[in-house]
């Protein structure tokens, strides 16, 4: 009986010796020893760029040179070797970048205007007081002018013909011949006489006062539409309709 037990123990021990070794425990996100090595290298040297270790560990791949970032940042020569910047095959017309160095000074802002801090209570309260605010309000009130509304003045009766009334009651449009004109009324005469008026309204008013639109004593309306010196009734009509 004892002999049988001894043989059983020897058999079990032999089978255990022949069995393959159990795999090493794997952490979350690490599938083999290479990943663990990458993790350890990153923790010990966070400034190094390590991904090429994983790439170069794959059988049949060609090692890829990757620039190493040290305390002074990535060097231009390393960027050029990796095909970045002004290396071979890069368009020389492109504007070169700057080294990624954390010691580089901050960019200068030229020609900028600072934003107002009037909405910042802490900033305003540091330089303003209740008394200074009251003085400023008093200065603004002193220069303020208030105009009281008054009635519209009556239109004098001696200002000449009412060109607004004439525009609203005109039987034709600008450029449409409506009245007969003398052959002596030429464009040259019209331009010469129209130049004597400051505005087209003044010319139309004087034209009506001299017997227009039926009569054109100064030759201000050579096309016979009833409107002197290019005066147009359309703006008055549009204002009335609106």
Per-residue pLDDT tens listing for the chain (242 residues): 545 555 555 555 555 555 555 555 554 544 566 666 666 655 555 444 445 555 455 555 555 555 454 555 566 676 666 666 554 555 555 555 556 677 777 777 666 556 777 788 888 888 888 898 899 899 998 998 888 888 877 767 676 789 999 999 999 999 999 999 888 778 889 999 999 999 999 999 999 999 999 999 999 999 999 999 999 999 999 998 87
Give which of 123, 49, 59, 105 is closest to 82, Cα–Cα. Answer: 49
Task: Read off the pTM.
Answer: 0.38
pLDDT value at residue 34: 61
Please list, in sequence order, all residues whose beta carbon lies within 8 angstroms of the beta carbon of residue 163, skipping any fewer than 6 positions away: 201, 204, 205, 208, 231, 236
pLDDT value at residue 212: 93
pLDDT value at residue 27: 47
Pair of tokens at residue 8: 């059983």
For the chain, give every domain's residue range. 33-58+65-81, 163-241
Pair of tokens at residue 200: 């087209």
């Amino acid at each position: 009986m004892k002999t049988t037990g001894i043989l059983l123990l020897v058999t079990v021990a032999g089978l255990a010796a022949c069995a393959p070794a159990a795999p090493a425990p794997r952490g979350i996100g690490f599938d083999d020893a290479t990943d663990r090595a990458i993790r350890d290298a990153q923790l010990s040297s966070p400034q190094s760029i390590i991904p090429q270790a994983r790439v170069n560990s794959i059988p049949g791949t060609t090692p890829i040179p990757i620039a190493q970032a040290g305390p002074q940042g990535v060097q231009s020569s390393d960027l050029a070797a990796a095909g970045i910047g002004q290396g071979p095959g890069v368009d020389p017309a492109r504007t070169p970048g700057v080294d990624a160095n954390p010691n580089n000074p901050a960019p200068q802002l030229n020609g900028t205007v600072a934003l107002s801090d009037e909405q910042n209570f802490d900033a305003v309260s540091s330089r303003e007081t209740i008394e200074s605010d009251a003085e400023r309000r008093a200065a603004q009130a002193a220069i303020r002018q208030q105009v009281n509304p008054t009635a519209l003045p009556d239109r004098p009766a001696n200002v000449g013909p009412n060109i607004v009334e004439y525009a609203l009651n005109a039987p034709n449009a600008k450029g449409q011949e409506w009245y007969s004109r003398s052959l002596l009324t030429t464009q040259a005469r019209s331009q010469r006489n129209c130049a004597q008026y400051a505005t087209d309204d003044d010319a139309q008013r004087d034209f009506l006062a001299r017997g227009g639109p039926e009569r054109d004593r100064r030759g201000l309306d050579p096309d016979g539409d009833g409107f002197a010196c290019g005066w147009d009734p359309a703006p008055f009509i549009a204002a009335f309709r609106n």
